Homo-oligomer: A and B are copies of this chain.
Amino acid sequence: MVIGILGGGQLARMLALAGYPLGLKFIVLEPAADACAADVAEHLQGDYGDDALLAELADKADIVTYEFENVPAAAVAFLAERVAVYPPRQALVSAQDRLDEKALFRRLGIDTPEFVAVNSLDELEQAMEQVGWPAVVKTRTQGYDGNGQAVLKQPGDLAPAWQSLGGVPAIVETFVPFEREVSVIAVRSTSGEMVCYPLTENTHRDGILRLSIARSDDPMQEKAANYAERLLDELDYVGVLALELFQAGDRLLANEFAPRVHNSGHWTQDGAETSQFENHLRAVLGLPLGATDIVGYTAMVNLVGLIPAPEDVLVNTHSHLHLYGKEPRPGRKVGHINLCAQSREELAAELKLILELAGE
């Protein structure tokens, strides 16, 4: 069985590493010559719009999946005529448009910040009466890692913000003062079976995830899992989905979802019985899903722009290093460290050292 993947970065690489023990082989389509997934998969080098390459991928793969949500819709449509593609196209379409995404949340009874679609500076000015100050305006499409958005604190911010986004269709949302950012990694198989991992608390800096901490007894687990399951059912979803939420008091407000394995689920490689990567593959293959139980106390620290000396990381016998085979550059995710501990106190002590090594 051959799994094709659109994208050949670290997520594809970790999918492949998780899939060989299941007897799978892998082929990735990725424009970059130095794709880090190419160490462990066949590499079709070229553009996502190249029909000949897409046809080759469809021909060689039994199932195709993807590692990023900005996959061109045309590429997925082309592939879907020739081979099974998961997660389903509808999930990709919703995730690519912030307005559709938020409207979907609202339709499913998933709490969100107040939001309004805006297509002009006039509409933005009007919308502010409904969403209130402060607010965030975001382009409907093509945003990632904090790009394509601007904060609105006062009327004077409106015009510059609108201009900075390029005047494209946008969505403006109430800025809700939240206590923490959490995400839930959920999985649904072609058979309809669903499982959910323990809730993860995430810390971002400069729009990039730096730290995730998962715990088995999070008080918001049930609500988050319920929201994720509504999404999975509605989308007739197959694979791993990550739902990012803000917690404000007792409310969980949906921010966005990613129709793929997700950075905030990397801790599952060492901290859960079955990793998100293996469960994504089991889901698309229609295999029973693996146990998602947390093992002890666990956290993940991203390595952004630097790789500390492995001996300094591993001197803590409970650190687990995951390098992506990528050259460090500022702002580039080049690896992560998973921590396992027997108690919350032990985890806190380990985290302190590892965060220093990671330059956090």
Residue positions of A touching B, CB distance < 8 A: 13, 17, 20-23, 25, 39-40, 270, 273-274, 282, 285-291, 295, 307, 310-311, 314-318, 320-323, 325, 335, 340
| Count of chain copies | 2
Residues of B within 8 A of A321 (CB): 21-23
**In the docked arrangement, what's the CA distance between A26 and B307, Å?**
20
In the assembled complex, the CB of A124 is this many whole angstroms from the nearest CB of chain B, namely 46
Are B22 and A20 neighbours in the complex by a CB distance under 8 Å? no
Residues of B within 8 A of A285 (CB): 310
Residue of B nearest to A309 (CB): B287
Residues of B within 8 A of A286 (CB): 311
Residues of B within 8 A of A21 (CB): 17, 320-323
Please pick, from B287, B290, B323, B340, the residue contacting A22 in the complex, using a CB distance under 8 A: B323
Are B23 and A39 neighbours in the complex by a CB distance under 8 Å? no
In the assembled complex, the CB of A186 is this many whole angstroms from the nearest CB of chain B, namely 15
Residues of B within 8 A of A335 (CB): 23
Residues of B within 8 A of A322 (CB): 21
Residue of B nearest to A286 (CB): B311
Are A23 and B274 neighbours in the complex by a CB distance under 8 Å? no
A17, A286, A289, A322 — which one has the most chain B CB atoms within 10 A of its CB?
A: A17
Residues of B within 8 A of A310 (CB): 22-23, 285, 287
**In the docked arrangement, what's the CA distance between A25 and B310, Å?**
15
Are B311 and A288 neighbours in the complex by a CB distance under 8 Å? yes
Are B325 and A311 neighbours in the complex by a CB distance under 8 Å? no
Are A288 and B317 neighbours in the complex by a CB distance under 8 Å? yes
Residue of B nearest to A1 (CB): B310
Given contacts A39-B25, A290-B320, A295-B295, contact A20 B314 (CB under 8 A): no
Given contacts A21-B17, A39-B20, contact A317 B295 (CB under 8 A): no
Are B314 and A290 neighbours in the complex by a CB distance under 8 Å? yes
Residue of B nearest to A342 (CB): B293
Residues of B within 8 A of A274 (CB): 317, 320
Residue of B nearest to A269 (CB): B21
Given contacts A273-B340, A287-B311, A320-B274, contact A13 B22 (CB under 8 A): no
**In the docked arrangement, what's the CA distance between A155 and B238, Å?**
68
**In the docked arrangement, what's the CA distance between A180 and B23, Å?**
33
Given contacts A20-B17, A20-B325, A22-B310, contact A318 B340 (CB under 8 A): no
Are A325 and B23 neighbours in the complex by a CB distance under 8 Å? yes
Residue of B nearest to A270 (CB): B273
